[in-house]
Amino acid sequence: MENFDDFEKKSYQEGVEIKYGFADYFSYFSKMFIFFVKITFVMTQEIFEKIFYGTKVKNIHGQLALVTGGANGLGRATSFRLAQEGCNVIIVDINEEEAIRTAAAISERYGVKTKAYKVDVSNFDAFQELKQNISRDFDGQTIDILINNAGILSAISLNEGQHTQIQKVIDVNLTSHFWSVRTFLQDMIDKKRGHIVGIASMGAKVSFPLAISYCATKSGLDGFYRALQDELCVEDHDEYIKLTCVYPSFINTRKELTDILDQMEGVGPRMSPSYVANEIVEAIKKEKISLVLPLSAWLLLVSNFLTPKAMKLAKVQWVPVKRLKKKD
């Protein structure tokens, strides 16, 4: 493991220069070719298995799910949908009052066990305390399904507001995923069962203006879940620990957001939280690694290949950012 503390004292040693000849390149590319043949074989096998045996659907009835930011919006809708599947649901939110209300409403409707905890997801120690409290309140049970949903929908650019607000967006939207996964993953590995969902955003794949911190954190999640998947594969945990990273475009959640979206005709139709929640739970059951919502949002990726002037036209005129800025 790298020691990060002594960089200021470390003397720099230059890397050794290597000269590559034709034989080196030939050996490299022939190994690469064999590797691609193997990959194609495995992929073909997987595709045929899907065609002949269909997609396996996981039963999550009776599992213990934890939803961060579960008091409101998408988290609330996902908590309800998980309860509908027969999951017991833990609502984790900074807003205790709403969290308690949501937990009570879920229990009343579906008769499952629920509990609300007030936790600031950006605080690592708070997660450690949460883990102990869950163990106490749920007779030593551990988390089966972790939904990392809490996030701040910030529309602040680099020089707006206080620098501490930018830091907060990073801590809540990105760092919190490190803390929650670090807290609950080992139990999943020990139990050989678990599913982790990260709620990113289409902002991870296609940036939009005046939301630098938001887009950066959501792109960070994209990298986080890809790298986590790789680690699970390296350690051979991928057979029983599943990941799903979700990239929704706009959802009708809180009014502050929908008021802004109302002015942006270019962003297209918005999804309802219950629709997105249903897609998330179906993705868990079908063990999908990534989920772009709606499916048509893939088309937005075209914007990443536009020439600079066309990109400016798309991002500044189609989404009327200047108008929004004046209104603020």
Which chain residues interact with ligand NAD by CB under 6 A? 68-69, 71-75, 93-95, 119-122, 149-153, 172, 199, 201, 248, 250-251, 253-254, 257
Which residue's CB is nearer to ligand NAD, number 299 or number 310?
Answer: 299
Q: Which of 106, 113, 104, 187 is nearest to 145 (CA)?
A: 187
Specify whether the CB–CB gap between 151 and 200 falls below 8 A.
no
d(CA 150, CA 95): 11
Q: To the nearest whole angstrom, how small is the minimum distance from the Cβ of residue 218 to ligand NAD?
A: 7
Q: What is the DSSP string of 80-101?
A: HHHHHTT-EEEEEES-HHHHHH
Distance CA 131, CA 118 (A): 12
Is there a catalytic annotation at residue 214? yes
Query: How many whole angstroms from its chain centre is CA 138?
Result: 26
If the CB atoms of residues 88 and 122 are measured against ligand NAD, the closer one turns out to be 122
Q: Which is nearer to ligand NAD, 103 or 150 (CB)?
A: 150
Our CB check for ligand NAD shows the closer of 24 and 265 to be: 265
Q: Least separation, in Å, of the C-beta of 135 and ligand NAD? A: 20
195 has which bridge partners?
145, 242
Query: What is the nearest approach in angstroms of ligand NAD to the Cβ of residue 185?
Result: 19
CB of 213 to ligand NAD, least distance (A): 11
* Residue among 117, 214, 225, 247 flagged as catalytic: 214
Residue 247: closest CA among 195, 188, 290? 290
* 319 to 154, 207, 316: CA distances (angstroms): 17, 12, 6
- What does the buried/exposed string (b/e) look like for 52-87 if buried means 16 or more CB atoms within 10 Å of the residue's CB? eeeeeeeebeebbbbbbbbbbbbbbbbbbbbbebeb
Count of C-beta atoms within a 10 Å radius of residue 149: 26
CB of 90 to ligand NAD, least distance (A): 13
Residue 146 to residue 178: CA distance in whole angstroms: 12
Choice between 69 and 194, CB closer to ligand NAD: 69
Residues identified as active-site: 214
